Amino acid sequence: MNPVVGRVIWINGPVLRARGSRLVTMGEMVELGEQHLVGEVIGLAGDVMTIQVYEETAGMKPGEPVFGTGSPLSVELGPGLLGGIFDGIQRPLPVMEMQKGSFIGRGIRLTPLYHATRWQFTPLAQIGRTVSGGTVLGTVPETQQLVHVVMIPPGVTGKLVWLADYGEYGITDPVARVQTDEGEVTIPMLQRWPVRRPRPVRSRLEKIEPLLTGQRVLDTFFPLVKGGAAAIPGGFGAGKTITQHQIAKWSDAQVVIYIGCGERGNEMTQVLQEFPELVDPRSQRPLMERTVLVANTSNMPVAAREASVYTGVTIAEYYRDMGYHVALMADSTSRWAEAMREISGSLEEMPAEEGYPAYLSSRLAGFYERAGLVENLNGTTGSVSLIGAVSPQGGDFSEPVTQQTKRYVRCFWALDKSLASARHFPSVNWLNSYSEYIDNISNWWQIETGMDWRALRAKAMEILNEESHLDQIVKLVGPDALPDEQRVTLETSRLLREGFLQQNALDDIDTYATPRKQLKMLSLILHFHERAMGVVRRGAVISSIQALAVVNTLIRMKAVISNDQLDKLDEIGIQLDQQMDELEALYR
Amino acid sequence: MSDWMSGGQQISGLSKVEGPIVVVEGTGVVAYDEVVEIIDQNGRIRPGRVLEVGENLAVVEVFSGTAGLSIDGTRIRFLGRSFQIPVAQEMLGRIFNGIGEPIDGGPQPLADRHADINGQPINPTARVYPRDYIQTGISAIDLMNTLVMGQKLPIFSGSGLPQDQLAAQIVRQARIGKAVGEKGRSDDQFAIVFAAMGVKNDVAAFFRKSLTESGALTRVAMFLNLADDPAVERLVTPRVALTLAEYLAFDCGQHVLVVMMDMTNYCEALRQISNIRGEVPSRKGYPGYMYSDLASLYERTGRIKTSTGSITQLPILTMPNDDITHPVPDLTGYITEGQIVLSRSLTQQDVYPPIAVLPSLSRLMKDGIGRGKTRDDHSRVSMQLYAAYARVQDIRSLASVIGEEELSTVDQRYLAFGRAFETEFIQQDAGENRDLETTLSLAWQLLSLLPRTELTRVTEADINRYYQEKR
Ligand SMILES: Nc1ncnc2c1ncn2[C@@H]1O[C@H](COP(=O)(O)OP(=O)(O)OP(=O)(O)O)[C@@H](O)[C@H]1O
Ligand SMILES: [Mg+2]
């Protein structure tokens, strides 16, 4: 039983004040009242502590006891995370459902991981060796596609004096003993780590490999790297969630952490029902086996929403420490920022812009800084890539969360309301979006595909940019007034938009494209451009080019030709040349 | 949650009255969110609720307002529980005020049980993802913004637009959908829970009349907070209504359609309380917690594994100045699963229902339609209509500059398509109930006005099957 450290004196929604501040530390987790609601100390002033409460406070009264726990808000790390779904403070939602039914009650205390499960442990370390944080002790097959690496927790250094034999163990059973300066320490598979503190690494590395998403507009035009950070801002219905789901499904990360932060319940249910049935194209195993879900929906307590982002990123770092590439999606970081605003508002703190607290920017920075490609303490290389959705009020990107986020990410996928309402998806605006990682990964594309990605990309961007200039003229005088060469540019950009940039997440073939398919498609469209220019220069009229059968083929190829039939794209290239040759022959 | 404490404490005298809020000192132990009764000098009782508590102090909101209260002559009784209402099947067919008391002259319904009006969040693992569509008989909804059972789909309206007629038509015509060609018509009817917040008397009367005429009144429960009723009470009305809806759906297994109007009035009341309390505002004076507050209403929608019932929400709001970026529609759109936007310009062209399809969206549509559910080509036809109609907008603005005669023939065909789309597809009578097959063939007739090479969102197979070129 935890000791009583204070008494509640004031309650206002998700925050309360209590007397007894001398017995707790800043950031300490506390329990409140007879129901033992969970809270965290977020302020100390004189005799009084301020506490944010992770559960609904209705019914709480002044005078109720505050119990100290002596430790900060932490997560449990160990085998059993993958495939799981937790709330913002890592309570396992399926277990809550079993115990309490369909609705989330209060005062439920559960261990995040199921401690009774026994895992097959294979020892790998050598007794007698010096070990320290990160040292690999052994492995556990956590799912069929992922080996869980059991490590010495950061902060422990000494001589390994005992290591468990090959066999089955629970996560709290000792698997090693280390002789340290302070005495012998017993190490179980289970680690606890305070969520607000980044897990240590040896060094940060230069990022050189793309995080492939299978989404053409992202991979080809605005690529993210493994260990990078990206933001997806967009008004409601612009496609943030679908884009994040697509990345969770098809990215080449080995572990995916998906945080539903203050968003819809049905969206989490959809992931829960869909992911076990979808197959990872690389491992051929169900996607759920590499996924951890953190779900603190919009109607769940707002303080737990604030914590959910930290819970998620700490789990991500833990798998990174094992040497994996981890991708984390947070939908939506604006709801996280609003949780800070609500809590700050209840405390009557001095606000900065639009009611957000002054520390908004530093919290965002602290989050995005936890991305990175690193050399781990144990010498392995791993990464955490962060992808945050941003939901600007009124779809206006000048609001504080979007602006502050922009300072800390290098990849900005600006979603566009008018594209979305014309059902151009993903509605990533190719003129306002950017990626600062182009230089980092040009080599990778060259080696991986043997094609000059950078040049193809630049050419396509040039055509799209020119289109936006020509559009201004077309709006005034109509397309007929343009010379035919410029009309070829318009035609090519239509092909780029409809045949390449648009990608239907709901189409079985189109939903995901390999880098090779992406580049082959792009070079076909650019080849069309070159040939069409040539033919027009010889005197052909634009309508004769628009009438070519291959135009329709180029628009439809994305959903007709699957990733494993790419030679069919070469056949389209042959048709293209034939049709252009025939047309050209008329003008010799 | 019903029995947190002993309750029954009574205090005489207030220390402050400000708008709908009173502050009481000298309290013993009072719980956050506890319900109270405020008894004025004439012995009349007004209900209220605790918003904030300190040691010996409570801030209380009085639902029916504080007019007539005096500092010394007022007593407050703390009831020691949360706000609860009785729920029962027999509440269907009845009319209540905004806090759930009968106002139709009938007796207090016999409670099956009492339920806390705040409800509790549904555990996402306990939900069933909604996949069954509702046929509303309205083409612009059924084909392009399909409503799904368990969805929250608001109507974004503007002052003077026919949102009432549209909502009433949906309520009258809503049926559980069937696949095209599937035999038999479903007779399953929805129980309807209607929550009015700050709505004009004649609007409430219109709904009552429309529901009576269609014989639906026995399956409707109405909760009315009218324009001249106290504003603060509005904060309770939707919660009371949703509490009954949850009982009907999840305890009794019924399909429930909840109509809540006007959410803009609800948000006004929220803003009013927040301003009086001196809270830091976010945009346009609305409180920073408005998103969470609205979510605590809108998320009370859906289906759960342990019940066959469902709650579908149709909230209605007016966009101040027709501005979709105003905080009320904006935050609503961020929470709900799409929106049906009404257009002033279509209304001016006498198109009913004036649904602006481009900014409208149904997010749950994708899993509720297609092969086996509606028809295989449904989703692609819808996408094609969107793309083509978006193109019409561009061509119209070009035509306004260079003149229609100067347009290319393809562009002229788009214009013809656009006109027909508005006057034949969107347009239908308030009494017209189109089945999905009719709507789909209408859509193909319109697409046949365009050259087949323009139809890049449907497949070649779709075109071969349904397209019949018209020039
Ligand atoms: N890549 C895509 N392919 C097909 N449809 C898409 C795609 N992206 C978005 N959509 C459509 O747009 C709708 C809205 O997308 P989504 O739910 O991702 O929006 P959002 O930006 O997350 O909105 P909110 O901020 O309200 O959560 C989807 O329901 C779907 O119909
Ligand atoms: Mg979303």
User: Mind listing the domains of chain A with CATH numbers?
Assistant: 4-71 (2.40.30.20), 114-189 (2.40.50.100), 203-438 (3.40.50.300), 451-585 (1.10.1140.10)
Residue B6: pLDDT band (50, 70, 90) is: low
**Cβ neighbours of residue A572 under 8 Å, at least 6 residues apart?**
A524, A550, A553, A554, A557, A561
Phi first, then psi: what are they for A117, rounded to 5°? -60, 140
pLDDT in tens, A44-62: 999 999 999 999 898 899 9
What is the average per-residue pLDDT within B449-455? 93
Q: Name the residue among A503, A239, A490 with its Cα closest to residue B394.
A: A490
Domain coordinates of chain B in residue numbers?
Answer: 10-82, 86-368, 378-466
Q: Which of A266, A338, A427 to mutate to test the interface with B (most CBs of B within 10 A)?
A: A266
Cα separation, A46 vs B1, whole angstroms: 34
Query: With an 8 Å Cβ cutoff, are B283 and A391 in contact?
Result: no
Q: Calculate how far, in angstroms, residue B241's C-alpha sits from the geometric centre of ligand 1.
A: 30
How does DSSP classify residue A395?
A: G
Which three-class secondary structure state does DSSP give residue A558?
A: helix
Tokens standing for residue A177: 């003993």
DSSP alpha helices (H): ranges in A296-370? 302-321, 333-346, 360-368
Beta strands in B5-125 (DSSP E): 10-12, 16-18, 21-25, 35-39, 45-54, 57-62, 75-78, 84-87, 95-97, 113-116
Tokens standing for residue A418: 């008018």
Give the model's pLDDT for residue A128. 95
Q: Name the residue with the closest Cα to ligand 1, atom 11.
A: A239
Pocket of ligand 1 (CB under 6 A): A 234, 236-242, 391, 425-426, 503-506; B 334, 361, 363, 366
**Cβ neighbours of residue A123 under 8 Å, at least 6 residues apart?**
A137, A138, A163, A164, A165, A166, A175
Cβ contacts from A onto B, under 8 A:
221
pLDDT in tens, A334-343: 999 999 999 9
Q: Calculate how far, in angstroms, residue A123's C-alpha sits from the geometric centre of ligand 1.
A: 46
Question: Cα–chain-centroid distance for residue A278?
Answer: 18
**Between A97, A105, A351, which is nearest B120 by CB?**
A105
Cα separation, A329 vs A259, whole angstroms: 6
Task: Give yes or no for B130 touching A (CB within 8 A).
Answer: yes
Cα separation, A148 vs A358, whole angstroms: 40
Give the model's pLDDT for residue A588. 74
* H or E element that contains B415: helix B409-420
Name the B residues in 143-172 with CB < 8 Å from any A CB: 150
pLDDT at B228 over 80: yes
pTM: 0.95
pLDDT at B189 over 80: no
Give the model's pLDDT for residue A38. 92
Task: Give yes or no for B42 touching A (CB within 8 A).
Answer: no
Give the model's pLDDT for residue B179. 83
B453 to chain A: nearest residue by CA? A552
How many CA atoms does the CB half-sphere of B10 hold within 13 Å? Answer: 7
pLDDT in tens, B336-389: 999 999 999 999 999 999 999 999 999 999 999 999 899 999 999 999 999 999
Of the candidate CATH numbers 1.10.10.60, 2.40.30.20, 2.40.30.10, 3.40.50.300, the domain formed by B10-82 belongs to 2.40.30.20
Considering every ligand atom, which ligand is closest to the CA of B382? 1
pLDDT at B56 over 90: no
A34 to chain B: nearest residue by CA? B4
Question: Cα–chain-centroid distance for residue A436?
Answer: 18
Q: Name the residue with the closest Cα to ligand 1, atom 16.
A: A239
Residue A472: how many CB atoms within 10 A of its CB? 8
Are A124 and A139 in contact, with CB atoms under 8 Å apart?
A: yes
pLDDT in tens, B117-175: 999 999 999 999 999 999 999 999 999 999 999 999 999 999 999 999 999 999 999 98
Give the model's pLDDT for residue B1. 39
Query: With an 8 Å Cβ cutoff, are A237 and B283 in contact?
Result: no
Low-confidence stretches of chain A (pLDDT < 50) are none
How does DSSP classify residue A507?
A: S
Q: Calculate how far, in angstroms, residue B337's C-alpha sits from the geometric centre of ligand 2.
A: 9
Query: With an 8 Å Cβ cutoff, are B31 and A61 in contact?
Result: yes
Number of H helices, E strands in chain A: 16, 26
pLDDT at B45 over 60: yes
Q: How far is B77 from chain A (nearest CA, A)?
A: 16
Are A264 and B332 in contact, with CB atoms under 8 Å apart?
A: no
Residue B17: pLDDT band (50, 70, 90) is: very high
Q: Which atom of ligand 1 is nearest to the CA of B336?
A: 26
A263: left (phi over 0), alpha (psi -120 to 50) or beta: beta
Q: Which residue has the higher pLDDT, A478 or B227?
A: B227
Chain A residues in contact with B462 (beta carbon < 8 A): none
SS3 content of chain B, % helix, strand, coil (to 5): 35, 25, 40
Chain A residues in contact with B30 (beta carbon < 8 A): 61-62
Of the candidate CATH numbers 3.30.300.30, 3.40.50.12240, 1.10.3660.10, 3.40.50.170, the domain formed by B86-368 belongs to 3.40.50.12240
Tokens standing for residue A398: 């000048």
Q: How far is B376 from chain A (nearest CA, A)?
A: 13
Q: Name the residue among A559, A139, A99, A544 with its Cα closest to residue A324.
A: A139
Q: Calculate how far, in angstroms, residue B366's C-alpha sits from the geometric centre of ligand 2.
A: 15
**Between B31, B366, B387, which is nearest A59 by CB?**
B31
Phi first, then psi: what are they for B314, rounded to 5°? -125, 75
Cα separation, A548 vs A491, whole angstroms: 12
Cα separation, A514 vs B456, whole angstroms: 23
Beta strands in A54-164 (DSSP E): 65-72, 74-77, 85-86, 118-123, 130-131, 136-143, 146-151, 158-163
Chain B residues in contact with A338 (beta carbon < 8 A): 288, 291-292
Q: How far is A444 from chain B (nearest CA, A)?
A: 34
Chain A residues in contact with B82 (beta carbon < 8 A): 58-59
Task: Give yes or no for B206 touching A (CB within 8 A).
Answer: no
Q: How far is B450 from chain A (nearest CA, A)?
A: 15
Q: Name the residue among A136, A129, A138 with its Cα closest to residue A158.
A: A129
Counting residues of chain B whose pLDDT is more than 70, the rounded percentage is: 97
Q: How far is B435 from chain A (nearest CA, A)?
A: 25
Q: Calculate how far, in angstroms, residue A95's C-alpha sits from the geometric centre of ligand 1.
A: 31
Phi first, then psi: what are they for B169, rounded to 5°? -65, -45
Considering every ligand atom, which ligand is closest to the CA of B148? 1
The residue type at B270: L
Q: Name the residue among A98, A158, A87, A89 with its Cα closest to residue A125.
A: A158
Give the model's pLDDT for residue B217. 86
Q: Which of A8, A268, A299, A398 to mutate to test the interface with B (most CBs of B within 10 A)?
A: A299
Cα separation, B72 vs A326, whole angstroms: 64
Q: Calculate how far, in angstroms, residue A386's C-alpha sits from the geometric centre of ligand 1.
A: 20
Cα separation, A292 vs A315, whole angstroms: 9
Q: Calculate how far, in angstroms, residue B273's C-alpha sits from the geometric centre of ligand 1.
A: 34
Give the model's pLDDT for residue B184. 58
Residue B250: pLDDT band (50, 70, 90) is: very high
Q: Which atom of ligand 1 is nearest to the CA of B366?
A: 31
Q: Name the residue among A203, A209, A286 with its Cα closest to residue A252.
A: A209
Cα separation, A213 vs A256, whole angstroms: 12
Cα separation, B395 vs B412, whole angstroms: 8
**Between A102, A342, A391, which is nearest B123 by CB?**
A102
| Look-up of token digits 């207030």 | B14
Chain B residues in contact with A558 (beta carbon < 8 A): none
Chain A residues in contact with B359 (beta carbon < 8 A): 421
Query: With an 8 Å Cβ cutoff, are A9 and B335 in contact?
Result: no
